[in-house]
């Protein structure tokens, strides 16, 4: 009847001897431990999990005591994890002509682009691209070359910047954790140089810079061209004189003279009108004089041969032995006047010699020519 305490599984005996008799009794003690179980459960936000008769939708660790199959307590621990869905917004700024890759797709137009997927825990994954495409040029400035340098104050920082040539310039800046974009296209217009070559006839006028010009020369005028800048116009003015020519011609009876396709054999003035290569008046005048072939006749006897002919103009003596037609032409060029002096024609017969003499003048340059000849 003695009390004994045991704390673990095992085989225990209660053998005893009394009344001179040995008594045997053995016991096998089986100690069942309580059952401990841990449940790890992961779920997405918005889901529910029931445990111990209760419903959970937030992350928590709770325990519940149940009756195990061995009849002892069973302590179950729940570790509940609630995973949030993945949601990410990416803001990207680019310039015209650029593009950005987003989950394997290339985008180059402003807009919001969404990509859906799952997290490693199996929850929703949402990635959003907010793409802004900024213009490469926000403003265009046009200046004349004479206005350079162009001073541009940075729209964001106020910093002064100087530019000297046509081009695209940017004022991109980052402040307050935000990037700001601004682009300018600068157009520099050069002055326009133009040359006008104008040819006109004497007596005409040409209007330039509000003035009527008659004299040949080079003139300048500064205007405003279509691009708003200086246009320097140079006028090279040529004034062509009309053509005027007088031709004085002397011929003898029986001869003729061709003048612009026409043949003339009578004394007179003949005019031909035409146009110069520059389009101006062309006037050609023929002053034609037809002289007699015989100016005088001298008659002598053959016994008076030779006949001594004294040149009326020079005093030179010429001996003539036969009847015939003789000419004694002299050209004197003096102060642009040619005097053609002729004493001509002897008619010499058995009993007499006849001499015909004459004088005429024509235009020429300074020169003196004395010629005595027989006319066949």
**Residue 319 token pair:** 């001996």
Confidence at residue 365, expressed as pLDDT on a 0 to 100 scale: 32
2-60 pLDDT, tens per residue?
Answer: 788 888 888 988 878 888 888 888 888 888 777 788 999 999 999 999 988 899 999 99
pTM value > 0.75: no
pLDDT at 368 exceeding the cut of 60? no
Q: What is the sign, positive or negative, of the torsion defined by CA atoms of 111, 117, 121, 124?
A: positive
CB 269 within 8 A of CB 285: yes
* C-alpha span between 80 and 68 (Å, rounded): 22
Q: Is 303 helix (H, G, I), strand (E, B) or coil?
A: helix
Confidence at residue 343, expressed as pLDDT on a 0 to 100 scale: 38
| Cα angle, residue 38 at apex, residues 32 and 44 outer, rounded to 5° | 160
Q: What is the sign, positive or negative, of the torsion defined by CA atoms of 315, 316, 321, 327?
A: negative
- DSSP single-letter state for residue 144: E
Which region among 16-25, 65-74, 261-270 has the lowest average model confidence (pLDDT)? 65-74
* C-alpha span between 233 and 225 (Å, rounded): 10
121-161 pLDDT, tens per residue?
Answer: 999 999 999 999 999 999 999 999 989 999 998 887 788 99
Confidence category of residue 330, pLDDT binned at 50, 70, 90? low
Average pLDDT of the segment spanning 77-103: 94
Instruction: List the beta strands (DSSP E) in 311-375.
Output: 317-320, 325-334, 337-348, 353-359, 362-363, 367-375
Confidence at residue 119, expressed as pLDDT on a 0 to 100 scale: 92
The strand pair at 183-189 and 167-170 is best described as: antiparallel
**How far, in Å, are 66, 310, 357 from residue 305 at the CA level?**
188, 14, 18
Q: Which of 328, 333, 335, 334 is nearest to 359 (CA)?
A: 328
**Residue 100 token pair:** 């950005």
Q: How far apart are the first and last CA of the chain?
A: 203
Confidence at residue 64, expressed as pLDDT on a 0 to 100 scale: 86
Label residue 355 left, alpha or beta by phi (over 0 means left) and psi (-120 to 50 means alpha).
Answer: beta
* Residue with tokens 């149940």, as numbered in its chain: 66
Confidence at residue 31, expressed as pLDDT on a 0 to 100 scale: 80
Of 269 and 360, the structure prediction assigns the larger pLDDT to: 269
**Residue 137 token pair:** 């040029």
Q: Which of 196, 203, 204 is nearest to 236 (CA)?
A: 196
Q: Which of 342, 333, 348 is nearest to 373 (CA)?
A: 342
Q: What is the sign, positive or negative, of the torsion defined by CA atoms of 25, 26, 29, 30?
A: negative
289-328 pLDDT, tens per residue?
Answer: 999 888 888 888 989 889 888 887 788 888 989 888 887 7
Task: Calculate the average pLDDT of the chain.
Answer: 83
**Residue 287 token pair:** 């002053």
**Residue 231 token pair:** 């246009």
The strand pair at 124-134 and 86-95 is best described as: parallel
- DSSP single-letter state for residue 324: B
CB 308 within 8 A of CB 317: yes
Confidence at residue 334, expressed as pLDDT on a 0 to 100 scale: 35
* Residue with tokens 């991109």, as numbered in its chain: 172
Q: What is the sign, positive or negative, of the torsion defined by CA atoms of 356, 359, 365, 366?
A: positive
CB 135 within 8 A of CB 96: yes
């Amino acid at each position: 009847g003695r009390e004994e305490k045991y704390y673990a599984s095992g085989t225990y005996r209660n053998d005893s001897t009394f009344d001179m008799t040995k008594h045997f009794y053995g016991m096998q003690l089986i100690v069942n431990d309580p059952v401990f179980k841990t449940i790890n459960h992961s779920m997405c936000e918005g889901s529910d999990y029931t445990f111990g008769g209760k419903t959970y939708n937030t992350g928590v660790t709770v325990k519940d005591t149940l009756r195990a199959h061995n009849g002892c307590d069973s302590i179950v621990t729940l570790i509940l994890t609630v995973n949030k869905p993945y949601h990410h917004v990416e803001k990207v700024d680019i310039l015209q002509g650029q593009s950005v890759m987003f989950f394997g797709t290339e985008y180059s137009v402003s807009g919001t682009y969404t990509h859906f997927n799952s997290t490693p825990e199996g929850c929703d994954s949402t990635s959003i691209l907010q793409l802004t495409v900024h213009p490469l040029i926000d403003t265009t400035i046009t200046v004349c070359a004479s206005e350079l340098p162009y001073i541009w104050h940075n729209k964001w920082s106020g910093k002064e910047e100087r530019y000297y040539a046509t081009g695209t310039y940017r004022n991109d800046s980052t402040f307050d954790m935000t990037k700001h974009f601004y682009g300018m296209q600068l157009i520099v217009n050069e002055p326009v140089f133009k040359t006008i070559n104008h040819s006109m006839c004497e007596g005409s006028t040409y209007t330039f810079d509000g003035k009527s010009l008659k004299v040949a020369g080079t003139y300048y005028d500064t205007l405003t061209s279509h691009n708003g800048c200086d246009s320097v116009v140079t006028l090279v003015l040529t004034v062509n004189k009309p053509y005027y020519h007088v031709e004085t011609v002397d011929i003898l009876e029986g001869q003729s003279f061709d003048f612009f396709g026409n043949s003339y054999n009578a004394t007179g003035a003949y005019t031909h009108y035409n146009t110069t290569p520059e389009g101006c008046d062309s006037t050609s005048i023929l002053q034609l004089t037809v002289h007699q072939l015989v100016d005088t006749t001298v008659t002598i006897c053959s016994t008076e041969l030779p006949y001594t002919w004294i040149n009326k103009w020079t005093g030179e003596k010429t001996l003539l032995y036969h009847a015939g037609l003789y000419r004694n032409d002299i050209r004197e060029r003096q102060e642009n006047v040619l005097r053609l002096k002729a004493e001509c024609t002897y008619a010499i017969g058995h009993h007499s010699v006849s001499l015909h003499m004459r004088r005429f003048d024509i235009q020429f340059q300074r020169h003196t020519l004395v010629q005595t000849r027989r006319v066949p």
